[in-house]
Structure 1
Amino acid sequence: MPIKRREFLTTFGLATLATQIPALTAQGKPSSNTILKPLRLQMGDTVGLIAPAGIVDAKDIEAAKKSFLQLGLKVKQGKHILDRYGYLAGRDADRADDVNSMFSDRSIKAIIPMRGGWGCNRILPLLNYSLIRSHPKILIGYSDITTLLLAINARSRLITFHGPVATSTWNEFTVDYFKRILFNGEAVTMQNSNGGEVRVGIIAPGKARGKLIGGNLSVLTAMVGSPYLPSWNKSILFVEEIGEDVYRVDRMLTQLKTAGILHQIAGFIFGQCTNCSLGDEPSFTLIQVLQDHILPLGIPAWYGSMIGHIKDKFTLPIGVEVEIDANMGTIQMLEAAVSVEK
């Protein structure tokens, strides 16, 4: 009886090595389980602007064009970018079509949503994940764009990026991380600026390694139970929020815990909770809530990282291996997030 391949590898002590080699198809291409890195940006490249969520004004598009021109980039608008359908930037099918079309358009090197709001969750079943995987390119954004970042990472196995949208403040801090990670292909260490007003606070000390996953907390929790989330096993989870009372943050973290997510992660980062309040009733502080949920996990964790609805923000690669240091409040990329090959 012929020896099976796995038995052969085990017999010769090579099973562990085999798991470290990226799986290939018969044609020598990466298998569907291999994580893909998009091609890096270069001066003169064209970025595609879309509105997959909330309504966009023409003046915002013009302002965004100026920002990208200063970065040495050209701009191409999505066909439905100025559509309106209630509080959404067009009907679900049309907004999904703009996403699919931008990925299939070979002239586009990166896709940058104009803004968040609400609506991306509605178009997830309409996205062509096979097409997206066959045309890997940079997708970056935050807030409601969290939905697209996580779903495409999970279903298309593509590195995506939590960072500025087109209407963000493209200041020196934000642009620096954007360029170093997406243009230069650097494996950077992210740390709050020494001269900034934002300070980090340790929840639990220590270092941890894992795949970086996360985004807006309310958007992420709205996806729990769907088939559009990545694996949480030994991951580093980061979240941020805006305009929520502390009890709601408590409720959402409780949902992640009861869903079995928090018990799988290796490290935790809470970014900014912009305009979050204690509410009118007697309340815990945000720090107390974070300690209640995270300390029992026994993992490195901190709060105050420059992630979220703030002017100065990191560009965070979703799906890349990182090492975090809760004592220093740092996120160290262990590999580049983009490919430099043509």
Structure 2
Amino acid sequence: MTGDRPGGAAGSTPPPRLRPGAVVGVAATSAWAAGRFPERTRRAVDALERELGCTVRLAPEGRYAGSIAGTGRERARALIELFADPEVEAVFTTIGGNNSNDLLEHLDPLADLPPKILVGYSDNTALLLGYQALTGATVFYGPALLPQFGEWPRPFAETTGPLRDTLMTGAGGAWPLPGWWTEPGGDWAGADREARPRHTGGPYVLRPGRGEGVLFGGNVPTLGVLAGTRWLRPPDGPTVLCLEGTADGASVPAFQRSLTQLRQLGIAERATAVLVGRTPGSAHDPERDAAFHRILLDAFPGDVALVTDLPFGHTDPILTVPLGARASVVAEAGRAPVVRVLDAPVR
């Protein structure tokens, strides 16, 4: 069935754009990784400076309980210092993990500081949405330092180009959708100098339709972590829902559980379109894909457009998605979908 869902009210407030030559802060908000992979960190810092024409300021990274980059209070303090520094115009994360929600109860000072660009994905869904709840600012579901900028021999142009367009020129417009992808990961502890195999393929229109609303979402298990807290404040009106997961979080039973929770929270019912990021390993298992498609079709009404295998989240290359900006979706069977950002993501 082809649906046509109406659009809604304006979304969040765009932060100031990133200027050439500015300082970009990078904080370890969850997992301990920069100290664990020093060669990749050096390569990633060099690449981030080169690609954005900026100076990187890497916040001190602690270590707590083996694999966490310091206590929640310590990680929050490092993040607040970057936001309080007038030279820093954007803040990136080093990587995801499992514990960015530890920071949230310590981040109230950010509400009194000027809004800045904040970029991350995966577990940093909690940080992004928490910061948005505190400030009302647009946040950016996009590349992290080590996974994307540490890519050998250099970051993918299909990742860095849209990032620059979004953060530096304030370009909205249609998402560029590359016709290839590669699995995330690699042996960072080894030589870490191998190009990953590329696979042909693009987004898949699972259910045709049209929709308009405020971009909202992120990593589905992490959205569940925020349920019932003051840091989960979804749009009041129509929503273009963006969902993705790791291999474990995107297994059919786990994703079904997350979809049920989104419905019970009242978030799923606001969706005019649902965009699902490509999940690791999914393209190699047709039986899993069929089951995954079934739960998506059953989870949303027949007039909600559904598009899967989009380039955001745990895949490469990845887009930079301005959560809080309005977007429109046109999904037609047998044709590439068109996702168009209607608001300027930065000012």
TM-score range, shorter chain: 0.7 to 0.9
For 1:204-233, what per-residue CA distance to the aligned partner results, in whole angstroms no more than 9, with x for missing partners?
Answer: 222111110111111112212211112343
**1:127-146 matches, cutoff 5 A:** 127-128=107-108, 131-132=110-111, 134-146=113-125
Identity %: 25
**1:1-342 matches, cutoff 5 A:** 35-58=12-35, 59=38, 60-71=40-51, 72-79=53-60, 81-128=61-108, 131-132=110-111, 134-169=113-148, 170-194=155-179, 197-232=200-235, 233-244=237-248, 245-275=251-281, 285-294=291-300, 296=301, 298-327=303-332, 328-339=336-347
For 1:68-100, what per-residue CA distance to the aligned partner results, in whole angstroms no more than 9, with x for missing partners?
Answer: 221211011213x24333321001110011111
Equivalent AA in structure 2 for residue 275 of structure 1: G
Higher relative contact order structure (alpha carbons within 8 Å, sequence separation ≥ 6): 2
In the superposition, the TM-score normalised over structure 1's length comes to 0.82
Equivalent AA in structure 2 for residue 94 of structure 1: E
- Verify the 8 A CA contact 2:279 2:315 in the aligned structure 1: no
CA distance in 2 between counterparts of 1:331 and 1:283 reads: 22
CA distance in 2 between counterparts of 1:188 and 1:92 reads: 37
CA distance in 1 between counterparts of 2:62 and 2:43 reads: 15
Q: Which runs of 4+ in 1 moved over 4 A?
A: 276-279, 281-284
Equivalent AA in structure 1 for residue 101 of structure 2: N
Deviation at 1:284, TM superposition (A): 6.3
Give the aligned partner of residue 31 of structure 1. Answer: none
Comparing 53-62 and 181-190, the one that deviates more? 53-62
CA distance in 2 between counterparts of 1:267 and 1:174 reads: 24
CA distance in 2 between counterparts of 1:120 and 1:330 reads: 32
RMSD value, Cα: 2.4
Structure 1: gaps of 5 or more residues = 1-19, 23-33
For 1:254-306, what per-residue CA distance to the aligned partner results, in whole angstroms no more than 9, with x for missing partners?
Answer: 11122222112222111112135999x99962111111112x25212211111
CA distance in 1 between counterparts of 2:90 and 2:204 reads: 34
Give the aligned partner of residue 197 of structure 2. Answer: none
For 1:34-59, what per-residue CA distance to the aligned partner results, in whole angstroms no more than 9, with x for missing partners?
Answer: 94321111221111111010012331
- Verify the 8 A CA contact 1:110 1:138 in the aligned structure 2: yes
For 1:97-153, what per-residue CA distance to the aligned partner results, in whole angstroms no more than 9, with x for missing partners?
Answer: 111111111111110110001111122111025x34532111001001111111111
In the superposition, the TM-score normalised over structure 2's length comes to 0.81
Equivalent AA in structure 1 for residue 327 of structure 2: V
The count of corresponding residues between Structure 1 and Structure 2 is: 304
Deviation at 1:195, TM superposition (A): 5.7
Structure 2: gaps of 5 or more residues = 1-8, 149-154, 182-199
Equivalent AA in structure 1 for residue 113 of structure 2: S
Q: Which has the larger radius of gyration?
A: 1
Equivalent AA in structure 2 for residue 300 of structure 1: A
Equivalent AA in structure 1 for residue 297 of structure 2: Q
CA distance in 1 between counterparts of 2:100 and 2:278 reads: 22
Closer, same or farther: CA 168–254 of 1 in aligned 2, 3 Å: same
Secondary structure at the aligned position of 1:285 is classed as: helix
- Verify the 8 A CA contact 2:162 2:176 in the aligned structure 1: no
CA distance in 2 between counterparts of 1:162 and 1:282 reads: 26
